[in-house]
Amino acid sequence: MSDDHVYLSLAEEHDDGDARWAFGTGFEDPLHGVDPAVPAGVDRADLAARCLALGDDALVSAQRLAEWTTRAPELEEEMALANIGLDLLGQARLLYTRCGQVDGTGRGEDAYAYLRDPGGFRNVRLAELPNGDFAFSVVRLLVLASWRLAHFERLTADPDPVLAAVAAKGVKELAYHRQWAAEWVVRLGDGTDESHARTQAALDRAAPYLGELFAAYDVRADVLAVLGQVTDAAGLRLPPAPPLPGHGRDGGHTEHLAPLLDELQSLARAHPGATW
Protein backbone atom coordinates (compact mmCIF):
# COMPACT_ATOMS: atom_id res chain seq x y z
CA MET A 1 0.00 0.00 0.00
CA SER A 2 2.93 2.30 -0.64
CA ASP A 3 0.66 4.56 -2.68
CA ASP A 4 -1.34 5.57 0.34
CA HIS A 5 1.07 7.71 2.29
CA VAL A 6 -0.06 10.95 0.71
CA TYR A 7 -3.65 10.45 1.71
CA LEU A 8 -3.01 8.80 5.06
CA SER A 9 -0.86 11.64 6.32
CA LEU A 10 -3.76 14.04 5.99
CA ALA A 11 -4.96 13.89 9.57
CA GLU A 12 -1.47 13.85 11.11
CA GLU A 13 -0.49 16.69 13.37
CA HIS A 14 2.08 19.19 12.22
CA ASP A 15 4.09 21.54 14.39
CA ASP A 16 3.36 24.54 12.24
CA GLY A 17 -0.40 24.27 12.58
CA ASP A 18 -0.84 23.46 8.88
CA ALA A 19 -0.05 27.01 7.81
CA ARG A 20 2.44 25.66 5.29
CA TRP A 21 -0.37 24.11 3.28
CA ALA A 22 -1.64 27.45 2.17
CA PHE A 23 -0.07 29.29 -0.73
CA GLY A 24 1.08 32.78 0.09
CA THR A 25 1.20 32.04 3.76
CA GLY A 26 4.64 31.29 4.94
CA PHE A 27 6.71 29.55 2.29
CA GLU A 28 8.54 32.73 1.42
CA ASP A 29 8.35 35.97 3.29
CA PRO A 30 9.15 38.87 0.99
CA LEU A 31 9.63 41.03 4.08
CA HIS A 32 12.10 38.65 5.72
CA GLY A 33 14.81 40.68 7.44
CA VAL A 34 13.07 44.01 6.81
CA ASP A 35 12.69 46.14 9.94
CA PRO A 36 8.97 47.02 10.29
CA ALA A 37 9.67 50.04 12.52
CA VAL A 38 8.59 53.29 10.84
CA PRO A 39 11.73 55.42 10.36
CA ALA A 40 11.90 58.82 12.07
CA GLY A 41 10.67 61.63 9.85
CA VAL A 42 8.19 59.46 7.91
CA ASP A 43 4.64 60.80 8.09
CA ARG A 44 2.65 57.78 9.25
CA ALA A 45 -0.71 59.02 7.99
CA ASP A 46 0.73 59.75 4.57
CA LEU A 47 2.46 56.37 4.41
CA ALA A 48 -0.75 54.59 5.41
CA ALA A 49 -2.74 56.45 2.77
CA ARG A 50 -0.20 55.58 0.08
CA CYS A 51 -0.22 51.91 1.05
CA LEU A 52 -4.01 51.84 1.11
CA ALA A 53 -4.38 53.40 -2.33
CA LEU A 54 -1.84 51.04 -3.89
CA GLY A 55 -3.44 48.11 -2.06
CA ASP A 56 -6.88 49.06 -3.37
CA ASP A 57 -5.64 49.32 -6.97
CA ALA A 58 -4.17 45.83 -6.60
CA LEU A 59 -7.17 44.21 -4.92
CA VAL A 60 -9.72 45.63 -7.33
CA SER A 61 -7.55 44.61 -10.30
CA ALA A 62 -7.08 41.11 -8.87
CA GLN A 63 -10.85 40.78 -8.43
CA ARG A 64 -11.45 41.69 -12.07
CA LEU A 65 -8.75 39.24 -13.19
CA ALA A 66 -10.34 36.51 -11.06
CA GLU A 67 -13.57 37.03 -12.99
CA TRP A 68 -11.76 35.71 -16.07
CA THR A 69 -11.37 32.30 -14.43
CA THR A 70 -12.84 29.58 -16.72
CA ARG A 71 -13.64 32.26 -19.33
CA ALA A 72 -10.27 32.87 -21.00
CA PRO A 73 -9.81 32.32 -24.75
CA GLU A 74 -7.16 29.62 -24.28
CA LEU A 75 -5.65 27.62 -21.42
CA GLU A 76 -2.33 29.47 -21.56
CA GLU A 77 -4.18 32.77 -21.13
CA GLU A 78 -6.25 31.29 -18.32
CA MET A 79 -3.02 30.58 -16.48
CA ALA A 80 -1.40 33.93 -17.25
CA LEU A 81 -4.44 35.92 -16.10
CA ALA A 82 -4.51 33.93 -12.87
CA ASN A 83 -0.77 34.45 -12.35
CA ILE A 84 -1.16 38.18 -12.70
CA GLY A 85 -4.22 38.23 -10.45
CA LEU A 86 -2.35 36.26 -7.81
CA ASP A 87 0.63 38.61 -7.94
CA LEU A 88 -1.64 41.62 -7.45
CA LEU A 89 -3.56 39.92 -4.67
CA GLY A 90 -0.23 39.26 -2.96
CA GLN A 91 0.74 42.93 -3.33
CA ALA A 92 -2.59 44.03 -1.87
CA ARG A 93 -2.14 41.79 1.16
CA LEU A 94 1.33 43.17 1.93
CA LEU A 95 0.21 46.75 1.44
CA TYR A 96 -2.88 46.39 3.65
CA THR A 97 -0.82 44.73 6.32
CA ARG A 98 1.63 47.63 6.23
CA CYS A 99 -1.24 50.09 6.35
CA GLY A 100 -2.55 48.42 9.50
CA GLN A 101 0.89 48.66 11.11
CA VAL A 102 1.26 52.38 10.52
CA ASP A 103 -2.25 53.89 10.65
CA GLY A 104 -2.57 53.29 14.36
CA THR A 105 -5.56 50.94 14.11
CA GLY A 106 -3.66 47.64 14.09
CA ARG A 107 -6.18 46.24 11.60
CA GLY A 108 -5.34 43.14 9.59
CA GLU A 109 -5.49 42.80 5.79
CA ASP A 110 -9.06 41.47 5.77
CA ALA A 111 -10.44 44.49 7.63
CA TYR A 112 -9.38 46.68 4.70
CA ALA A 113 -10.67 44.32 2.02
CA TYR A 114 -13.95 43.28 3.59
CA LEU A 115 -15.11 45.93 5.99
CA ARG A 116 -14.91 49.17 4.02
CA ASP A 117 -17.67 50.55 1.81
CA PRO A 118 -17.09 51.78 -1.76
CA GLY A 119 -16.57 55.38 -0.59
CA GLY A 120 -13.64 54.20 1.51
CA PHE A 121 -11.81 52.65 -1.43
CA ARG A 122 -9.05 54.72 -3.02
CA ASN A 123 -8.35 52.77 -6.23
CA VAL A 124 -8.23 54.53 -9.58
CA ARG A 125 -11.43 54.12 -11.59
CA LEU A 126 -9.79 52.38 -14.55
CA ALA A 127 -9.19 49.35 -12.30
CA GLU A 128 -12.86 48.95 -11.39
CA LEU A 129 -14.40 49.11 -14.87
CA PRO A 130 -15.95 45.81 -15.95
CA ASN A 131 -13.70 43.42 -17.87
CA GLY A 132 -15.41 43.93 -21.19
CA ASP A 133 -13.87 41.76 -23.87
CA PHE A 134 -10.35 40.30 -23.88
CA ALA A 135 -9.13 43.37 -25.79
CA PHE A 136 -10.28 45.76 -23.09
CA SER A 137 -8.84 43.57 -20.36
CA VAL A 138 -5.38 43.44 -21.96
CA VAL A 139 -5.39 47.16 -22.83
CA ARG A 140 -6.38 48.05 -19.28
CA LEU A 141 -3.72 45.71 -17.93
CA LEU A 142 -1.07 47.27 -20.18
CA VAL A 143 -1.96 50.75 -18.96
CA LEU A 144 -2.19 49.88 -15.28
CA ALA A 145 0.89 47.64 -15.24
CA SER A 146 2.99 50.26 -17.05
CA TRP A 147 1.80 52.94 -14.63
CA ARG A 148 2.26 50.84 -11.50
CA LEU A 149 5.66 49.61 -12.65
CA ALA A 150 6.92 53.15 -13.25
CA HIS A 151 5.72 54.15 -9.78
CA PHE A 152 7.05 51.01 -8.06
CA GLU A 153 10.49 51.57 -9.60
CA ARG A 154 10.58 54.90 -7.77
CA LEU A 155 9.18 53.37 -4.57
CA THR A 156 12.10 50.96 -4.29
CA ALA A 157 13.93 53.99 -2.86
CA ASP A 158 11.09 54.96 -0.51
CA PRO A 159 12.15 56.00 3.01
CA ASP A 160 9.84 53.33 4.43
CA PRO A 161 11.80 50.06 4.22
CA VAL A 162 8.67 47.91 4.10
CA LEU A 163 7.09 49.79 1.22
CA ALA A 164 10.45 49.77 -0.56
CA ALA A 165 10.68 45.98 -0.13
CA VAL A 166 7.10 45.46 -1.36
CA ALA A 167 7.94 47.62 -4.39
CA ALA A 168 11.15 45.71 -5.09
CA LYS A 169 9.20 42.44 -5.19
CA GLY A 170 6.43 44.04 -7.22
CA VAL A 171 8.75 45.46 -9.89
CA LYS A 172 9.65 41.98 -11.11
CA GLU A 173 6.01 40.92 -11.19
CA LEU A 174 4.79 44.06 -12.92
CA ALA A 175 7.48 43.85 -15.58
CA TYR A 176 6.00 40.47 -16.54
CA HIS A 177 2.42 41.78 -16.45
CA ARG A 178 3.37 44.65 -18.74
CA GLN A 179 5.23 42.34 -21.11
CA TRP A 180 2.36 39.87 -21.33
CA ALA A 181 -0.21 42.62 -21.94
CA ALA A 182 2.01 44.40 -24.48
CA GLU A 183 2.47 41.20 -26.48
CA TRP A 184 -1.28 40.68 -26.61
CA VAL A 185 -2.01 44.28 -27.62
CA VAL A 186 0.46 43.90 -30.49
CA ARG A 187 -1.02 40.54 -31.51
CA LEU A 188 -4.57 41.86 -31.43
CA GLY A 189 -3.75 45.15 -33.12
CA ASP A 190 -1.96 43.37 -35.94
CA GLY A 191 -4.10 40.20 -36.11
CA THR A 192 -7.46 40.48 -37.88
CA ASP A 193 -9.77 43.36 -38.74
CA GLU A 194 -12.01 42.34 -35.87
CA SER A 195 -9.23 42.16 -33.29
CA HIS A 196 -7.83 45.47 -34.51
CA ALA A 197 -11.19 47.20 -34.20
CA ARG A 198 -11.87 45.74 -30.76
CA THR A 199 -8.44 46.78 -29.48
CA GLN A 200 -8.72 50.30 -30.87
CA ALA A 201 -12.13 50.58 -29.19
CA ALA A 202 -10.54 49.41 -25.94
CA LEU A 203 -7.88 52.13 -26.15
CA ASP A 204 -10.57 54.72 -26.87
CA ARG A 205 -12.49 53.52 -23.83
CA ALA A 206 -9.43 53.60 -21.53
CA ALA A 207 -8.08 56.98 -22.69
CA PRO A 208 -10.30 59.28 -20.54
CA TYR A 209 -9.15 57.43 -17.40
CA LEU A 210 -5.45 58.14 -17.96
CA GLY A 211 -5.52 61.67 -16.57
CA GLU A 212 -6.44 60.26 -13.18
CA LEU A 213 -3.40 58.00 -13.20
CA PHE A 214 -0.99 60.83 -13.93
CA ALA A 215 -2.58 63.08 -11.31
CA ALA A 216 -1.80 60.37 -8.74
CA TYR A 217 1.85 59.79 -9.66
CA ASP A 218 4.22 61.84 -11.75
CA VAL A 219 5.10 59.13 -14.24
CA ARG A 220 3.32 60.48 -17.32
CA ALA A 221 6.36 60.58 -19.61
CA ASP A 222 7.47 57.03 -18.77
CA VAL A 223 4.02 55.55 -19.23
CA LEU A 224 3.20 57.40 -22.44
CA ALA A 225 6.53 56.30 -23.89
CA VAL A 226 5.69 52.65 -23.23
CA LEU A 227 2.14 52.97 -24.53
CA GLY A 228 3.39 54.80 -27.62
CA GLN A 229 5.89 52.07 -28.38
CA VAL A 230 3.31 49.31 -28.02
CA THR A 231 0.55 51.05 -29.97
CA ASP A 232 3.00 51.87 -32.78
CA ALA A 233 4.02 48.23 -33.02
CA ALA A 234 0.35 47.23 -32.99
CA GLY A 235 -0.76 49.78 -35.61
CA LEU A 236 -3.09 51.39 -33.05
CA ARG A 237 -3.33 54.82 -31.50
CA LEU A 238 -4.02 56.11 -28.03
CA PRO A 239 -6.38 59.03 -28.69
CA PRO A 240 -6.02 62.26 -26.74
CA ALA A 241 -8.96 62.50 -24.36
CA PRO A 242 -9.92 65.06 -21.75
CA PRO A 243 -9.70 63.50 -18.28
CA LEU A 244 -12.98 62.59 -16.63
CA PRO A 245 -13.97 64.74 -13.68
CA GLY A 246 -13.58 63.25 -10.22
CA HIS A 247 -10.92 60.98 -8.80
CA GLY A 248 -10.96 57.46 -7.38
CA ARG A 249 -8.17 58.44 -5.02
CA ASP A 250 -10.69 60.74 -3.29
CA GLY A 251 -13.29 57.99 -3.02
CA GLY A 252 -15.17 59.04 -6.14
CA HIS A 253 -16.02 55.90 -8.09
CA THR A 254 -18.02 54.68 -11.05
CA GLU A 255 -21.21 52.72 -10.52
CA HIS A 256 -19.18 49.55 -11.10
CA LEU A 257 -17.26 49.47 -7.82
CA ALA A 258 -20.19 48.82 -5.48
CA PRO A 259 -21.32 45.57 -7.16
CA LEU A 260 -17.70 44.38 -7.33
CA LEU A 261 -17.34 44.91 -3.58
CA ASP A 262 -20.75 43.40 -2.84
CA GLU A 263 -19.56 40.19 -4.39
CA LEU A 264 -16.12 40.29 -2.79
CA GLN A 265 -17.46 41.04 0.69
CA SER A 266 -20.77 39.13 0.71
CA LEU A 267 -19.72 35.94 2.50
CA ALA A 268 -17.31 37.60 4.93
CA ARG A 269 -19.99 40.09 5.99
CA ALA A 270 -22.64 37.39 6.36
CA HIS A 271 -20.58 35.82 9.16
CA PRO A 272 -19.25 38.68 11.28
CA GLY A 273 -16.31 37.66 13.43
CA ALA A 274 -15.94 34.21 11.88
CA THR A 275 -12.49 32.80 11.09
CA TRP A 276 -11.97 31.04 7.80
Partner 1 sequence: MAVNGESGRERMTTHRKPDAADHAEPELQRHFDATIARDQRVEPRDWMPDGYRRTLIRQIAQHAHSEIIGMQPEGEWITRAPSLRRKAILFAKVQDEAGHGLYLYSAAETLGADRADLTERLIEGRQKYSSIFNYPTPTFADVGVIGWFVDGAAICNQVPLCRSSYGPYARAMVRVCKEESFHQRQGYELLSTMMRGTGAQRAMVQDAVDRWWWPSLMMFGPPDGDSPNSAASMAWKIKRHSNDELRQRFVDMTVPQAEKLGVTLPDPELRWNEERGRHDFGTPDWAELTRVIRGEGPCNAQRMERRRRAHEDGAWVREAATAHAAKRRARADEGAAA
CA 114 to chain centre: 16
- Give the contacts of 6 (CB within 8 A, at least 6 positions apart): none
Cα end-to-end distance, the chain, whole Å: 34
Among 31, 171, 241, 264, binds partner 1 (CB under 8 A): 264
Q: Does 37 bind partner 1 (CB under 8 A)?
A: no
Nearer to partner 1, 81 or 223 (CB): 81
- Which residue type sits at 250? D
Distance CA 71, CA 2 (A): 39
Nearest residue to 124 (alpha-carbon basis) of 254, 240, 4: 254
Q: Per CB under 8 A, which of residues 161..200 are in contact with partner 1?
A: 186-188, 190-192, 194-195, 198
The span of 37-45, 84-92, 163-171, 203-211 binding partner 1 (CB under 8 A) equals: 84-92
The span of 5-13, 163-171, 173-181, 249-257 binding partner 1 (CB under 8 A) equals: 5-13
Among 63, 101, 146, 231, binds partner 1 (CB under 8 A): 63
The span of 18-26, 119-127, 146-154, 214-222 binding partner 1 (CB under 8 A) equals: 18-26
User: Smallest distance from the beta carbon of 92 to partner 1, in angstroms?
Assistant: 7
SS3 244: coil
Nearest residue to 95 (alpha-carbon basis) of 107, 84, 83: 107
Nearer to partner 1, 75 or 157 (CB): 75
Q: What is the binding site for partner 1 (CB under 8 A)?
A: 1, 3-4, 6-8, 10-11, 18, 21-25, 59, 63, 66-67, 69-79, 82-83, 85-86, 89-90, 92-93, 96, 109-110, 113-114, 133-134, 186-188, 190-192, 194-195, 198, 263-264, 266-268, 271, 273-276
